[in-house]
């Protein structure tokens, strides 16, 4: 079974993120859910993004890095939207990563100044009409990462919801989330 670090999105460590972690634990995985916002959650994505901007995106990444201090290095990093920042940083720069899952967001390769690690498996999951993923250029970053590495897969789901996999949010899409969760469990089974 895998050891996973699950980084929350801009609305904070919501009940939906906690529920996904519980599901993974029920399947035998060890799951850590660092709270990058020190207990704060937000009703809207805009409020959460504003809070993240006040903290600073660099600080969000560093909070994620501090959260794994003392953990083994053989981890799978999973990030929901904003949580892709520390997940991608750690997958690219901390040795020993077993894999990465990026949900609803993908950063440009150059964000952390190094190429994607050779042989490191990753998946990117988003909706094909998600205005943040498509209009903000994440889809191009995702495709570039897939083109760069045979170990990275992009999964696009029909719809326009941003954080479709968090069952505590209005954007939750049960059908897409079920497919995503099956793919996540299959990915973790190989780690």
Question: pLDDT tens digits, residue range 9-48?
Answer: 999 999 999 999 999 999 999 999 999 999 999 999 999 9
Cβ pair 171, 163 in contact under 8 A? yes
Domain ranges across the chain? 3-189
**pLDDT for the residue 143:** 97
Roughly what angle, to the nearest 10 degrees, separates helices 57-67 and 84-93?
Answer: 60
Q: 170: Cβ–Cβ under 8 A, 6 or more apart, which residues?
A: none
**pLDDT for the residue 109:** 77
The per-residue pLDDT for range 118-139, each reduced to its tens digit, is 999 999 999 999 999 999 999 9
Fold of 3-189: Rossmann fold (3.40.50)
In whole angstroms, what is the distance from residue 121 CA to residue 116 CA? 10
Q: Is the pLDDT of residue 112 over 90?
A: no
Q: Is the pLDDT of residue 103 over 90?
A: yes
**pLDDT for the residue 95:** 93
The per-residue pLDDT for range 135-156, each reduced to its tens digit, is 999 999 999 999 999 999 999 9
Q: Which residue has the higher pLDDT, 108 or 47?
A: 47
The per-residue pLDDT for range 45-89, each reduced to its tens digit, is 999 999 999 999 999 999 999 999 999 999 999 999 999 999 999
**pLDDT for the residue 139:** 97
> Which residue, among 16, 30, 176, 50, has the nearest Cα to 98 in the 3D structure?
30
The sheet with strand 30-32 has its strands ordered as: 30-32, 3-7, 76-80, 99-103, 122-127, 152-157
**pLDDT for the residue 82:** 98
Least confident of 42-51, 106-115, 150-159, 164-173: 106-115
In whole angstroms, what is the distance from residue 166 CA to residue 8 CA? 10
**pLDDT for the residue 40:** 97
Average of pLDDT values for 96-106? 97
**pLDDT for the residue 77:** 98
């Amino acid at each position: 079974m895998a050891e996973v670090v699950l980084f929350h999105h801009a609305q904070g460590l919501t009940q939906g993120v906690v529920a996904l972690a519980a599901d993974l634990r029920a399947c035998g995985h060890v799951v850590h859910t660092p709270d990058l916002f020190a207990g704060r959650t937000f009703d809207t994505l805009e409020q959460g993004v504003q809070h993240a901007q006040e903290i600073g995106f660099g600080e969000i990444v560093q909070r994620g890095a501090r959260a794994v201090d003392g953990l083994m290095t053989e981890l799978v990093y999973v990030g929901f939207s904003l949580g892709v920042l520390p997940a991608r940083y750690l997958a690219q720069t901390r040795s020993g990563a077993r894999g990465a899952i990026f949900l609803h967001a993908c950063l440009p390769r150059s964000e952390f100044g190094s190429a994607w690690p050779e042989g490191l498996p990753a998946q990117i999951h988003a909706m094909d009409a998600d205005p943040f993923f498509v209009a903000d250029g994440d889809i191009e970053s995702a495709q570039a990462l897939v083109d760069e590495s045979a170990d990275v897969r992009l999964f696009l789901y029909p719809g326009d919801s941003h954080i479709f996999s968090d069952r505590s949010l209005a954007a939750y899409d049960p059908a897409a989330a079920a497919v995503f969760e099956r793919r996540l469990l299959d990915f973790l089974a190989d780690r």
